[in-house]
Structure formats: structure tokens, C-alpha cells
Amino acid sequence: MKVYIRVSGPASVTVLPQKEGQPHVKSSTVTSGPSGYYYQGVWRVLGGTTVHEFSASAISQCLKGKMVHMYGDSTIRQWYEFLNATLPGLKEFDQHNPKKTGPHMSLDYANNILLTYRSHGPPIHFPPMDTRVLHYIANELDGLVGEPNTVVVFTIWAHFGPFPMEIYIRRLQSIRRAVVRLLDTTPGTLVIIRTANPRALTSYVTINYSDWYMLRRDKVLRAIFKGLKVHLIDAWEMVLAHHLPHDLHPPPPIIKNMINHLLSYICPHNGS
């Protein structure tokens, strides 16, 4: 694993000019190109919503009167923890639940903000835990009373690397059906999905959780939710384009940009 492959022939590639009259073939299924870029440390999106920067006070104003429900793995729990650390008025209600799985809840009484986090259901590779706290995202969405002030944020990818793609597809299809039901009942509910991201690759990670596995799942997630009234935060591109090393849990500068992107969907005309 992770060793260089020596070339057995020429180690260079010659690119020839296109011949005159040669037909130009354009793929109808494969598109390429970045979704954004960093300028002076700030993520700029190419197309779609404009990403604003939000200070702590601007975040409180944006989330005022809103309920934000987060579901997924530790990469979405980072967002929950970031908001708790950033907003002085947001206080976590200690339910004595495991840190990694939750469920967790934070409240800002003055601004009427509710923030929750819950881990997705198995497969999940956390230490031994009470299986009663593991709920499937689809079941949680079915039990949710949505409204225009409700924001649903979820991700599901990091724990599915060692499993066949069919298992991941079936899980996403189940969540998709739940999202459709939620939006049919309360069309004003905002649904935002965090994609996968590259990570540091040790020999163990390379075998079971390599970027190749995660990239394939990322493409499947985008395909399954295409056409629905949901928003994607392209964590893959945001980590790939940044100068900091890849990490399963991106460092704070990237997380801050992801939160700015999230808040720009919630409050498209606000910012610091």
C-alpha cells in the first residue's frame, strides 16, 4: 500500500494537436470543473447561492426563531460543536448522552434557537454504545414536524466505506423517500446535505476507507438527491481546494467556511 509504481516504459506523455476535420465529441453524462474556490481564505461558489461571511452576532440573527436539526456522523457533529462554541447565547442541555452519538440539544432562549444533533443508525464504528440511541435518519424525518422555520441538515458517508455499495444506495433511497414525504407535508422546510470529503490516508484507512470508496459514494449521493428541493454543501471540493492537509474532520478554517455556506442557504440576504 502507498508505494510508488515504477514505470516500465517511457515516463512522459505526448499530447498531439487535434487533426483538422476531427469531430469534437462532447459527453452528455460526464461534466467536470470545480464548484468553487478560495480567495483570501474565503470560499467562493461558482454558481448557485452567494456565500456570505457571518459573525457570531450575524449567526444569532440568522438562526433567530429557527429549529436546526442535524443528523449524521462526526463530520456533521463538528458543525453542531462549532455553533455551540461560537454563539455565546447557545447553551447545551446536558442529557447525559454519549458525546459521539447523542442525541444532543442546545437552546438559545433569548433568540428562540433550537439546535439538535443525533447520530445516524448502523453501520457506525463508534465504541460500544446503547443501540437504543441509534435512530435511522429516515425515521427521524418521518417523526419531524416541519415548518418554514425548520432546517434539516444531514450527512451519511464516513462509516459506509467497508460495505457494499448496494447497502449505501438502499440507505440513501430510504432517506430520499423520507425527504420527499417531509417536503410534501411542509414544503417550507429547508433540507441541506453535506457531502463526503477527502481524508488523511494511513495504510489501514486506504484499505477500508480510501478516497476512491468515498468519491464513489459521493457521486451516488448526488445522483440520488438530484432533482429534489434540497441544497448540497460540497465538502469534497472545499477540503480538496484548501491548502491545509486532508482530514476526516476538516480543521476550523474549513469548518467556518462550511458554516458560512450553510447559513447562506438559511439566510441568503444576510451576513456580517
The 10 Å Cβ neighbour count of residue 180 is: 13
What pLDDT score was predicted for residue 219?
95
Name residues whose C-beta falls within 8 Å of residue 93's C-beta, 6 or more positions apart in sequence: 105, 106, 107
Mean pLDDT of 221-232: 96
Burial of 54: CB neighbours in 10 Å, binned 0-12, 13-18, 19+ = buried
Mean pLDDT of 118-127: 88
Continuous H helices in the chain: 56-63, 74-86, 137-142, 165-185, 203-209, 211-224, 235-240, 252-266
Mean pLDDT of 151-155: 98
The 10 Å Cβ neighbour count of residue 168 is: 22
First to last CA, the chain: 46
- Separation between Cα atoms, residue 266 and residue 252, nearest integer Å: 21
- Separation between Cα atoms, residue 145 and residue 83, nearest integer Å: 23
Name residues whose C-beta falls within 8 Å of residue 271's C-beta, 6 or more positions apart in sequence: 52, 53, 54, 58, 264
Say if residue 1's pLDDT is above 70: no
Say if residue 253's pLDDT is above 70: yes
Q: What DSSP string runs through 124-170?
A: --PSS--GGG---HHHHHHT----TTEEEEE---TT-TTS-HHHHHH
What pLDDT score was predicted for residue 159?
93
Mean pLDDT of 150-168: 95
Please, what sign has the CA dihedral across residues 176, 180, 181, 182?
Answer: positive
3-state SS record for 223-244:
HHCCCCCCEEECHHHHHHCCCC
Mean pLDDT of 190-219: 92
Mean pLDDT of 117-133: 85
Q: Using alpha carbons, select from 264, 196, 267, 187 the residue that is nearest to residue 228.
A: 187
Mean pLDDT of 6-34: 77
Say if residue 70's pLDDT is above 60: yes
- Separation between Cα atoms, residue 135 and residue 156, nearest integer Å: 13
What pLDDT score was predicted for residue 32?
66
- Separation between Cα atoms, residue 144 and residue 148, nearest integer Å: 13
CA distances from residue 145 to 176, 183, 242 in whole angstroms, order as listed: 17, 11, 37
